Amino acid sequence: MNDDAIIGLFLARNEQAIAEAKTKYGSVCRRTAQYILGDAEDSEECVSDVLLILWNNIPPENPRSLKAYIIGITKRSALKKLRDSRSEVRSGLPFTVSVDELSECIPSREDTEGNFEAKELTELLNRWLGALKTDDRMLFLRRYWFDDSVKELAEKLGESPKATAQKLYVLRKKLRKFLEREGFSI
């Protein structure tokens, strides 16, 4: 079933939407959660949480890309589960490497002021990403949204991991300068 049909089921409040979303995106959710959490049981629980969040959010949400929407929810849900559980040592998990790289540009805040700044930051990031060349935008998104490793990206680009890491470093540096220019405190 295509994404528009699945979204249509959600909008119509047809419970079949949950089954269709799980069939189409359950494995990618599971892999994403497993990568962050490092635990199969927690990953399965995260997939169930994602399906419930989808049911509760569509409507009123009507995502343009169901896959991106689901992956985003999965990442947020898995990271929340990771923070809440405190049973895993974060620094040893592979997903945190790319998140740690961005921490030099984007601070983490969990308060009300942080929520307001998160909306402002989202707008700034969208503007910055929109101004990048397509190749740079895709590299940035593949690393920091889809969490591809530097090695995987280097293979896709046909260059050395060192060259790819350098490109990512330059992009992060540009992002930091852009955010500072826009008055976003780091």
**Cα–Cα distances in angstroms (integers) from residue 14 to residues 5, 26, 52, 80, 85, in the given order:** 11, 18, 13, 28, 33
Output the domain CATH number for residue 104. 1.10.10
82 versus 75: which is more confidently predicted? Answer: 75
- How far CA 92 is from CA of 30, 127, 154, 184, in Å, comes to 19, 33, 23, 30
Domain of 100 in residue numbering reads as 95-181
Q: What is the mean pLDDT of the chain?
A: 81
Among 87, 118, 133, give the residue marking a domain's end.
Answer: 87
Residues 40-64 have pLDDT tens digits of 888 899 999 999 999 998 888 888 8
Q: Are residues 43 and 116 in the same domain?
A: no
With vertex at residue 166, the alpha carbon angle to CA 163 and CA 170, rounded to the nearest 5 degrees, is: 140
Do 32 and 74 lie in a common domain?
A: yes
On the question of a cis peptide bond just before residue 60, with omega within 30 degrees of 0, the verdict is yes
In a shared domain, residues 149 and 176: yes
Q: Which of 87, 112, 130 is the last residue of a domain?
A: 87
Residue 81 lies in a domain: yes
- Domain tally for the chain? 2
87, 119, 151 — which closes off a domain?
87
Query: If you average pLDDT over residues 127-155, what whole number do you get?
Result: 87
pLDDT, position 155: 93
